[in-house]
Structure 1
């Protein structure tokens, strides 16, 4: 008997570990419910609910192949080795197959499981699946992991030109096993069930993910370069939640994008090139997680930025988290996140830069808040984005580049449509006033809308000063020498 241990790979199509297991013989599937671990990792209730809903549709698909899906509970990952070993011994499992996950806790968990199983003569196999390239295979000439995305991307493109990763065949239907699939729980203790309106935005299942991908590749991808920064337009693929849970694979995305561009990368549609570049950003941040494990430990990628004098400002942090900053584009973006489990990518940068530069509040506060609410929350992408925006990360924006939320708002939501959708209290303002209600005049600005919690130019100067006064990396290395 073979066992596929499902994690962030909730699909039966193009699933490397599932395909490998099925080729070797009769196969069982298992998924571990780990509430304590998920809480420790700040996984959002909407994300946990999305996993459960996708497990239900996956269980049905696997049943068509006569592969039973079992559910086991290992409250924290420390218990995974014992739980899986017991399951293997109960069903006479000879080998366990998994798709690799990245991050320090994931790696330690898998090493512990492998040791426990191999000590009892059970094989453990890990496969490359959620990435196009194995971490450690895209390196600089000196053999280190890339720290600059543009250089990383160039090597990736060269490799993809030489050979595209192939899609993996769906397993054949196997003879029925005398094992019943388990019922998938409707909820998990510690995680509230999200609203019906949020769930409706993210229907579960591979068919839904493939449909989104096909529609995007047919219609929207060619406008992607022009429209992806405009939050009022449906300019993005809305696939991030499906990619994060592994309901669709990056290989499927890559093949669909190239097909819509007659197999071309750089030539043809600039939208396709731009979207594939976004897939490679996702890849880059996973490689960073492996190459620089400190980012898994809540540490800054650039060590000198650990000395930034972050402010303890609980009232300002609370106003930011509640969408009460007095800057409409920030507040609208936060409300979008709270109601939908998702935030537009351009706004993630604007909101993150406002917190870390204008409020000079530690990026880790924002990173954690995002993870607690994002349906597409992913450690590598979320950490990478926050560190990029706060100038503590890889290939980070120069610290003196600080987005002005009013200018960003005027540029990317010129008519104020996005703002008015999420902040109906500003609906009466014209398209100039809506970006900066404080300029409307009157002693209290606009009724029912807060005054700005910070002066943009003074707070910008404060951030510049904080960054300018950091010790250099050379100084730090000398002092630790």
Structure 2
């Protein structure tokens, strides 16, 4: 009997571990282990836990139709999860365990421990690269080095795509009946997490609905992605990231559908090519995470980043979290995050720049807060985005490039449509004056139930430049 240990690969289609487990004439059982203490340590958002729980219920039905039972059990953390898998494999007389690799440090340690315990019992362990378009370590420079900058990494990926079959795997065939499977099916208990969850009724969770969402986006919106993606008032992004984050959808499925709908996907200025770049960004950050374990320990990619002296003002951090900074585009974005568990990508850059460069608060505070709220929380992508914004990561924006939150709002939400959607206190502020509402209120003697700016951007910019320059010029300690 084969055991497939599901983690962030919650799908039947294009699942390499599941596919491999089903190739032999063996009975197959699925397993998912809830790890509430580990999830809490990783700041998993309750809304993402809700998505995983809902997806598992749909996955159990989909696997059941293939005559594959899905067991869902619980272990406090990864160490105990490894023990649980080994114990269960032994009790079910499993002869091989199949997993898809994960690349963060804790996950790698978990799998190493589980493999040791499983193999100690004479059970085989098979692990597959499934999470990305390209397995970490396969895209290398001409000198054989890992890329540290996105653009050459992307070019290498595009070259590799030309000669590689990235076709998604089909779902396994229906498995034969067996009395042992009947007993396992009869023992299945309702899926209900101990970990706090939030409703995900706005997000479909069946495989069919998720694929329909992918098809619709590629067919109807991907062509406009380049021109629409930066404007939060427009539904210009795919909003497929939650499914990619939990593995309900694979990047290969996205690529295949994109190529099918857009034969011109190679054209650099096309919407399709721009959307493909986002999939490659995801690969890039997974690559960085896999090759640099220190990132999983909260270290900056750039060594000098550890020398930045942050202000870390708690009152300002709380204002940022609550969307009460007095900067409309920042506050509207945070309201979107706090209410829906999702935030538009352009806004993620704006609020991250504001936290690190205007409020001078450690990027790690923002990284953890995002993970605690995001339905699409993914360690590598979230960490990479925050380090980029704080100018201490790979491909980081130079430390002297600091977003002006007011002009960002004026540029990407010029008429204030997005801001008005999330900040009811500013609904009556006319036109473009919404980006500086207090100037309008004072000019026309109006009252506003909205905070005044908690900082002066020009002053904070100068302070940020001084702090970052000092950190970058800090003498290195001799060994």
TM bin, normalised by shorter chain, reads over 0.9
Query: What is the CA deviation profile of residues 326-364 of structure 1, one whole-angstrom value per residue up to 9, with x for unaligned ones?
Result: 001000000000111100000000000000000110000
Whole-Å separation in 2 of the counterparts to 1:182 and 1:225? 46
Confirm whether residue 182 of structure 1 aligns to residue 188 of structure 2: yes
The aligned counterpart of 1:326 is 326
TM-score of the superposed pair, with normalisation by structure 1: 0.96
**Equivalences for residues 1-400 of structure 1 within 5 A:** 1-24=1-24, 25-176=26-177, 177-178=181-182, 179-180=184-185, 182-189=188-195, 191=196, 193-195=197-199, 199-262=200-263, 264-267=264-267, 270-400=270-400
Deviation at 1:183, TM superposition (A): 2.9
- Aligned to 2:22, the other structure's residue is in SS state helix
What does 1:369-448 align with in structure 2 at a 5 Å threshold?
369-442=369-442, 446-448=447-449
Once residues 77 and 268 of structure 1 are traced to their aligned partners in structure 2, the CA distance between those partners, rounded to angstroms, is 42
Partners of 2:306 and 2:468 in 1: how far apart?
11
* Structure 1, 419-428 or 204-213: larger mean CA deviation: 204-213
What is the CA distance between 1:187 and its match in structure 2? Answer: 3.5
Deviation at 1:209, TM superposition (A): 1.3
Rounded to whole Å, the distance in 1 between the matches of 2:448 and 2:350 is 25
How has the CA–CA distance of structure 1 residues 445 and 466 changed in structure 2, closer, same or farther, with 3 Å as cutoff?
A: farther
CA RMSD of aligned residues (A): 1.5
In 2, Cα distance between equivalents of 1:294 and 1:215: 39
Moved more, 180-189 or 290-299: 180-189
The CA distance in 1 between the partners of 2:138 and 2:420, in whole Å, is: 47
Assess, with a 3 A threshold, how the Cα gap between structure 1 residues 18 and 115 changes in structure 2: closer, same or farther: same
Could you say if the C-alpha distance between residues 442 and 211 of structure 1 is closer, same or farther in structure 2, counting changes exceeding 3 Å? same
Alpha-carbon distance change, 460 to 184 in structure 1, aligned in 2, over 3 angstroms: farther
Quote the offset at 1:445 in angstroms. Answer: 6.7
Give unmatched runs, 5+ long, in structure 2. none
Confirm or deny: 8 A CA contact 1:52 1:184 kept in the other structure.
Answer: no
Q: Secondary structure at the residue paired with 2:279?
A: helix
Structure 2 distance, partners of 1:446, 1:291, is 54
SS where residue 201 of structure 1 aligns?
coil
Once the 2 structures are TM-superposed, how far is the Cα of residue 460 of structure 1 from its aligned partner? 0.4
Q: Distance in 2 between matches of 1:282 and 1:429?
A: 39
State the match for 1:480 in structure 2.
478
Q: Structure 1 residue runs of 4+, over 4 Å off?
A: 443-446
> Which deviations, in whole Å up to 9, do the C-alpha atoms of 1:174-221 show, x marking residues without a partner?
1122221623433424x1x325xxx22212121221111111011000
How many residues of Structure 1 are paired with residues of Structure 2 in the alignment? 472
Moved more, 436-445 or 117-126: 436-445
CA distance in 1, matches of 2:276, 2:158: 10
TM normalised by structure 2 equals 0.96
* Greater alpha carbon shift after TM alignment, 78-87 vs 105-114: 78-87
The Cα offsets for residues 25-77 of structure 1, whole Å up to 9 and x where unpaired, read as: 21000000100000000000000110000000000001101100111211111
Matched residue of 1:469: which SS?
helix
How far apart, in 1, do the equivalents of 2:194 and 2:53 lie?
9
The alpha carbon displacement at 1:472 in A equals 4.1
Whether the aligned pair in 2 keeps the contact of 1:222 and 1:269 (CA below 8 Å) is: no
Contact between 1:360 and 1:463, CA under 8 Å: does it hold in 2?
A: yes
> Please, which runs of 5 or more residues in structure 1 have no aligned partner?
none
For the residue of structure 2 that corresponds to 1:96, the secondary structure is strand
Q: How many Å apart are 1:256 and its aligned residue?
A: 0.7
Q: Following the alignment from structure 2 to structure 1, what is the Cα–Cα distance between the partners of residues 62 and 191?
A: 17
Native 8 Å contact 1:310 1:362 kept in 2:
yes
